[in-house]
A and B are shown apart, each in its own frame.
Chain A
């Protein structure tokens, strides 16, 4: 690996990641429709449905009929969203849900905490991977980020401020404290993936978006006008928790200094404003692999370490290194 460069598929992981994000988001959109279909089936009144409802019934029936015998029972296999969901009996929950609920109840309710175990373990191995690979809000935030790119191309200036990344840990602590004080998991009301899961359901099945959608649009505008990916970088309480869990993550991205040419495209592409060029990943990196995908010299690869490489200096294919190297050569010749 050291000499032969990174495994050739690594630079295509970013596409796989987009596939994951799209699947998760598509699932969150599809589930409420499946639910509506189930309610139509269990009502046993096809003829009384409105025309649009009949159309939905027909479409979903065509799609699901090969897989289920009894839609009312069998389609219950997948329920919920990324905040907390049931997949064929396996319940998975967001670690923030577990933390927030423990704070709100001021007790540890193990049957629920265990549902967050798998995400917690994965986070300790892969770091903040949830933010890059699963989060339905990331799907929209990255599209929003691309939109900002178009705006820049069109001559408008999207916001590009920076704040202290530690702000979000304050939000996490404050959210948990307020949850504990109010006895209700208030942190869920400002956590975008939880909001999106709920709001899509509200919109499709209950006839309209709720207040959370307004908040989420606010965060999109914040990202657009104030700071690129600002909410995820500086404010998201879940991102803070995942970052803490991933502080000593095992799977990290590493720069191969021998093939790096200091082009700094990795720093430009990084959604979280990290510094791959100077080996600065830290606990914020979500292993999204965008930097790997854009690197023109394939100078980024995975490594198994619990800390980042110390700064390795300028890339060996870069101008700065060559200048210094030539100088050293001359000094050696003298």
Chain B
């Protein structure tokens, strides 16, 4: 591949030094991490949450750790969700989040109806008013990120589907030349853009913010 094709910025940094000392050091580090995670539940939880799954919690959900402590796995948030956006983990994200609600934005985006926070009995999902100001202020499931290598508009083919899917048009996403999407800081991470992206794999995706 030629230089400057841009893909390297989405790849994780790969350790280049493969000398034995380096490998031993990483092994020792891994051991230390394992020991630390066994000793303190918080660290263990942080390690477990690195399952590699890119998922969102429902809108208004507390930061991950508080969320897990409050959620009682009753399933009412999913039952009230009119878009059937909310799904429930089995064991794939670790035992601490078994039967807890999650959203995979590529499968179903959140329509920001705010019913899940209304029905949640424990406040694990906070109630947020169904108003634009409240949603912009308090919902932060993540932020959309555009891969300009994949995005059709950035490749010279006018698209604009994500912009049209966005419930907060011109606030969360603005479009420039050829309908090239530009995500602003106001993005709440509902995932409707990622759901609607016609590229495969999707050119716009939500970077989750689980606190």
Q: B87 near A206 (CB under 8 angstroms)?
A: yes
Q: A101 near B79 (CB under 8 angstroms)?
A: no
- Name the distance in Å between B196's Cβ and chain A's nearest Cβ: 15
Q: B98 near A205 (CB under 8 angstroms)?
A: no
Q: A183 near B121 (CB under 8 angstroms)?
A: no
Q: Which residues on B sit within 8 Å (CB–CB) of A206?
A: 78, 84, 87-88
- Name the distance in Å between A117's Cβ and chain B's nearest Cβ: 13
Q: Measured between alpha carbons, how far is A206 from B89 in the docked complex, in Å?
A: 12
Q: A91 near B97 (CB under 8 angstroms)?
A: no
Q: Which residues on A sit within 8 Å (CB–CB) of B66?
A: 105
CB 8 Å contact bits of A199-211 with B (1 = contact, 0 = none)? 0011001100011
Interface residues on A, range: 35 or more
Would you call A236 an interface residue if the criterion is a C-beta within 8 Å of the partner chain's C-beta atoms? no
- A84-B83 contact, Cβ under 8 Å, with A104-B68, A189-B98: no
Q: Which residue of A lies closest to B85 (CB)?
A: A39
A31, A42, A182, A212: the one within 8 Å of B79 (CB): A31
Q: A185 near B82 (CB under 8 angstroms)?
A: no
Q: Measured between alpha carbons, how far is A103 from B97 in the docked complex, in Å?
A: 16
Q: Which residue of A lies closest to B96 (CB)?
A: A184
B68, B72, B97, B119: the one within 8 Å of A93 (CB): B72
Q: Which residues on B sit within 8 Å (CB–CB) of A249?
A: none
Q: B72 near A39 (CB under 8 angstroms)?
A: no
Q: B76 near A84 (CB under 8 angstroms)?
A: yes
Q: Which residues on B sit within 8 Å (CB–CB) of A212?
A: 99
- Name the distance in Å between A327's Cβ and chain B's nearest Cβ: 61
Q: B72 near A210 (CB under 8 angstroms)?
A: no
Q: Measured between alpha carbons, how far is A32 from B78 in the docked complex, in Å?
A: 10
- Name the distance in Å between B192's Cβ and chain A's nearest Cβ: 14
Task: Kindly count the residue-residue contacts between A and B in the assembled complex, taking CB atoms under 8 Å apart.
Answer: 129
Q: Measured between alpha carbons, how far is A172 from B98 in the docked complex, in Å?
A: 19
- Name the distance in Å between B29's Cβ and chain A's nearest Cβ: 25
Within 8 A of B (CB), among A88-106: 91, 93, 97, 100-101, 104-106
Within 8 A of B (CB), among A43-88: 43, 72, 76, 79-81, 83-86
Q: Which residues on A sit within 8 Å (CB–CB) of B88?
A: 198, 202, 206, 210
Q: Measured between alpha carbons, how far is A186 from B73 in the docked complex, in Å?
A: 9
- Name the distance in Å between A234's Cβ and chain B's nearest Cβ: 24
Q: B71 near A185 (CB under 8 angstroms)?
A: yes
Q: Which residues on B sit within 8 Å (CB–CB) of A182?
A: 41, 45, 95-96
- The 6 A-B residue pairs with the shortest CB-CB distance, nearest first, are A84-B74, A105-B69, A184-B96, A42-B82, A80-B76, A112-B122
Q: Please list the residues of chain A having a beta carbon within 8 angstroms of any beta carbon in chain B.
A: 31-32, 35, 38-39, 42-43, 72, 76, 79-81, 83-86, 91, 93, 97, 100-101, 104-106, 109, 111-112, 115, 181-186, 188-189, 194, 197-198, 201-202, 205-206, 210-212
**9 A-B contacts, Cβ less than 8 Å apart?**
A79-B76, A86-B121, A91-B121, A105-B69, A109-B70, A112-B72, A112-B123, A184-B96, A184-B100
